[in-house]
Chains A and B, each alone.
Chain A
Amino acid sequence: MALKTNIRFPQRGGMPEGDPANTHDLLTQEELESRGILFTSLDKLFRWGAGWSLWPLQFGLACCAIEMICTTQSRFDMSRFGYEVFRNSPRQADVMIVAGTITEKMRPAVELLYHQMPEPKWVIAIGSCAISGGPFVDSYSVVAGADKVVPVDVYVPGCPPRPEAIIDGMLQLKAKLSHPERKQVVRDDK
C-alpha cells in the first residue's frame, strides 16, 4: 500500500543522509510504521480489539453446548484468546454461539435473543444441527439450520465438534473481523 500521507517526519539530527524525511518528502504508511509510528484508522483499531475480546452469549441448546462448556474449562481454556467472558444477558454479548438443535418451539426465543444483542454482533453455528439440522433434519419439530433464523458468520462442523474446532471457529471469526473485505475467509494451512 503506497498511500501517500501528509505527515512529515520531524527533522532531527541523526537522520541518515538521503533519507526521504530530510528532503521533506511525503512518507508512505510502511515507512512511517518502520519508524515506529502506528498509523491506523479508528475502525481498524476497533476491529483489532474486538477480535481479541469477543464476548459470547451463554446459551446452550443441546449436546454441542457441553463441548462449548468444555472449551471454556481448564483443559482447552478459551480465555487464552480472550473469549471466556460468557455473558448471561444478550445485552452484554456480541457473539451468539448457536450450539445445538434449534426446534420450532425454541425458534422465537433464538430470534429474540439475537435481536436483543447490541450491534455489532456475530453468530457462530456449532455442530451439524446448527448448520443444517444435522441428524434431525427431517424431524417435524426441528429447524434445518441456524441460518434459517439468524445470519451466521462461521460454521463449525462436527457432531459435536471437538473443543479445538470450536476454538478454531472463534479464530476464524477473528480473521473475518480483521478482514471484512474478504467474502470468505479461506484457511491457508493446507
Chain B
Amino acid sequence: MSENGNAYSERYTLNLGPQHPSTHGVLRIVADFDGETCISADPVIGYLHRGMEKLLESRTYPQGLPYTDRLDYLAGVNNNLPLALAVEKLLGVEIPERASLLRMLTCEIMRLASYMVGIGIYIMDLGAVSGVFYPFQQREYALEVMSALCGARMTQGYIRFGGVQADWNDEAEAALDVLYKELPPFIEMYHKLIDENEIFLRRTKGVGVITAERAKSYALTGPNLRASGVDYDLRRDAPYCLYDRFTIKVPVQQAGDCHARYAQRMLEVEEILKLIKAIHAALKETEPGKIMGAVPKMLRPPAGEAYAQTENPKGIMGCLVASDGKGVNPLRVHFRRPSFDNIAIFSELMPGHKVADLIAIIASFDIVLGEIDG
C-alpha cells in the first residue's frame, strides 16, 4: 500500500518535453507521480531563450522593434505596441488618431488570430484532432487582412515608433469583410461542436481549479485571470491608445477550471468581433494619409525610463525602456511576458491531478514559448 492508500502504486518521475506535441513548443515539465497521481511538477524553461533583452541593447531603437514580434509570435503586432508606447513616452511624440486606430484594429485582429490558435490547439491536445481545423481556418481569414495591409502573415512589424507602417487599403477592407462574414457562423458551429461534448466536459470540468485569490497572488493575467472570476482588463481599466473611446464588455467566468478557460476565450472572441467592427467604423471616419507622427530620423530619446503595458492575448505585457540620452541604443529593455508569469502556477496547480489532466492544464493556459523564454 502506498501513502495515498492505492494498492500497487509506484513512484516514478515523468519527463514531458522539450520535444513533446502537447507542450506547445519546447516547454519541459518534470513531474513526479505516485501511480497515476501527480505529486510534484516543475516546469523547466529556457529551451528557447534567445537573449532578446540583451540583443536589444546592441540594436538601435527601430532595429529593436521587429524583435518583439518574435516574443509572442502568435500575435506579433500586440508585442510591438508596449515597446512603441514606452519609447514614444520617452520621446514625447503625438500619435495621429488614424495611426492609433490602426494600431488598435490590427491588435484586435491578431488577438482574434491568437485566440483561434489557443482554442484549436487546446481541443487538439484533448484528442479531437479535427477540432483544430476550424479555428485555424478563421485564423487564416484574420491573417489575410494583415497580409493585405502590410505584406506579412505572422511577424508583421506593423507598428513603428510614431505611427504605423502602412495605411488601410481596399484589399484589407475586402479581407476584413470576409472575416465578418465567416466568423459568426463559425462561433455558432464551434459551440455546437464542443460545448456539449461529453469527453470534453469530463476532461475539463473541475480540472485545474484556480480561485480568484490564488490567481491574483500568482499574478495571472489575461483570459486565465478572468476565467477565475477577476474582472480585470487593461483595455477598459487602464486604457492606452484610444481604447477609452469604446465600450468594452469584459466577459468573466467564475469556475476557474480548464473548462472556464475555454469558455472565457470563446466569449471573448465575440467581444473582439464587436470591438473590431466599432474600431473599423471609427477608422472610416478619419482622413486617410496621416499615419505617422513627427518622429526624428535618428531616434535618441532623452535620458530616463518609461514603462508601458498593454493587454495582450496571453495577458498583460509590459515593457520598460531605459535610455541614457546619448546613444542610439537603449540602455536596458525589459519585458513583462505574460506567459512566463502565468506558468509559475503550474507547480502548485498540477499536484493531485492525473497524467492526462496535466495535458489539459497546459493546453488551457494557451502559453507560447517565445514569450516564456524571451
Is the pair A106, B51 in contact by a Cβ cutoff of 8 Å? no
Bound: A59/B25 CA distance, A: 8
Per-residue interface assignment for chain A, residues 152 to 175, with 1 indicating a CB less than 8 Å from any chain B CB and 0 otherwise: 000000011010000000000000
Is the pair A61, B26 in contact by a Cβ cutoff of 8 Å? yes
* Chain B hits for A162, CB < 8 A: 153
Is the pair B70, A105 in contact by a Cβ cutoff of 8 Å? no
* Chain A hits for B154, CB < 8 A: 63, 66-67, 160
Contacts known (A61-B25, A73-B136); A106 close to B47, Cβ less than 8 A: yes
* Chain B hits for A26, CB < 8 A: none
* Chain B hits for A5, CB < 8 A: none
Among the listed B46, B49, B66, B137, which residue makes an inter-chain contact with A135, where contact means beta carbons less than 8 Å apart? B66
Bound: A107/B155 CA distance, A: 24
A23 within 8 A of B: no
Query: SS class of chain A's interface: helix, strand, loop or mixed?
Result: loop
Is the pair A74, B136 in contact by a Cβ cutoff of 8 Å? yes
* Chain A hits for B370, CB < 8 A: 62-63
User: Which residues of chain A in 100-141 are interfacial with respect to chain B, using CB atoms and an 8 Å cutoff?
Assistant: 100-101, 103, 105-106, 109, 113, 135-136, 138-141
* Chain A hits for B19, CB < 8 A: 59, 109, 113
Contacts known (A63-B73, A63-B155, A63-B370); A138 close to B47, Cβ less than 8 A: no
Bound: A106/B369 CA distance, A: 13
Bound: A66/B139 CA distance, A: 12
Of the listed residues B19, B70, B154, B370, the one surrounded by the most CB atoms of chain A closer than 10 A to its CB is B19
* Chain A hits for B136, CB < 8 A: 69-70, 73-75
A92 within 8 A of B: no
* Chain B hits for A136, CB < 8 A: 50-52, 55
* Chain B hits for A109, CB < 8 A: 18-19, 47
B117 within 8 A of A: yes
Among the listed B25, B51, B117, which residue makes an inter-chain contact with A62, where contact means beta carbons less than 8 Å apart? B25
Contacts known (A62-B369, A75-B140); A135 close to B51, Cβ less than 8 A: no
Bound: A185/B78 CA distance, A: 40
Bound: A60/B19 CA distance, A: 8
Chain A nearest CB: distance from B55 CB in Å? 5
How big is the A interface, by class? 20 to 34
State how many residues of chain B have any CB contact under 8 Å with chain A. Answer: 33
* Chain A hits for B373, CB < 8 A: 103
* Chain B hits for A61, CB < 8 A: 25-26, 48
User: Which residues of chain A in 48-104 are interfacial with respect to chain B, using CB atoms and an 8 Å cutoff?
Assistant: 58-63, 65-67, 69-70, 73-75, 88, 100-101, 103
User: Which residues of chain B in 54-89 are interfacial with respect to chain A, using CB atoms and an 8 Å cutoff?
Assistant: 54-55, 58, 66-67, 70, 73-74
Bound: A88/B155 CA distance, A: 27
B45: nearest chain-A partner, CB-CB: A105
A21 within 8 A of B: no
* Chain B hits for A27, CB < 8 A: none
User: Which residues of chain B in 122-166 are interfacial with respect to chain A, using CB atoms and an 8 Å cutoff?
Assistant: 132-133, 136-137, 140, 153-155
B141: nearest chain-A partner, CB-CB: A75
Among the listed A73, A74, A138, which residue makes an inter-chain contact with B55, where contact means beta carbons less than 8 Å apart? A138
* Chain B hits for A106, CB < 8 A: 18, 26, 47-48
* Chain B hits for A140, CB < 8 A: 51, 54
A142 within 8 A of B: yes
Chain B nearest CB: distance from A122 CB in Å? 18
B5 within 8 A of A: no
B21: nearest chain-A partner, CB-CB: A88
A63: nearest chain-B partner, CB-CB: B73
* Chain B hits for A69, CB < 8 A: 136
Bound: A88/B369 CA distance, A: 19
* Chain A hits for B70, CB < 8 A: 62-63, 135
Is the pair B51, A142 in contact by a Cβ cutoff of 8 Å? yes
A129: nearest chain-B partner, CB-CB: B50
Is the pair B21, A58 in contact by a Cβ cutoff of 8 Å? yes
Is the pair B132, A73 in contact by a Cβ cutoff of 8 Å? yes
Bound: A96/B103 CA distance, A: 38
* Chain B hits for A100, CB < 8 A: 48
Bound: A109/B140 CA distance, A: 32
* Chain B hits for A66, CB < 8 A: 73-74, 117, 154
Of the listed residues A61, A63, A65, the one surrounded by the most CB atoms of chain B closer than 10 A to its CB is A63
* Chain A hits for B18, CB < 8 A: 106, 109
* Chain B hits for A75, CB < 8 A: 136-137, 140
B369: nearest chain-A partner, CB-CB: A62
Bound: A109/B21 CA distance, A: 15
* Chain B hits for A113, CB < 8 A: 19
Sampled A-B contacts (21; CB under 8 Å) = A58-B21, A62-B25, A62-B48, A63-B73, A63-B154, A63-B155, A65-B25, A66-B74, A73-B133, A73-B136, A75-B136, A75-B137, A75-B140, A101-B48, A103-B50, A106-B26, A139-B54, A141-B49, A142-B50, A160-B154, A162-B153
9 closest Cβ contacts across the A-B interface? A63-B73, A139-B51, A73-B136, A136-B50, A106-B47, A75-B140, A88-B21, A141-B51, A74-B133
Q: List 15 other contacts, CB 8 Å, given A75-B136, A103-B46, A140-B51.
A: A58-B21, A60-B25, A65-B25, A67-B153, A67-B154, A70-B136, A73-B133, A73-B137, A101-B50, A105-B47, A109-B19, A109-B47, A113-B19, A136-B52, A141-B50
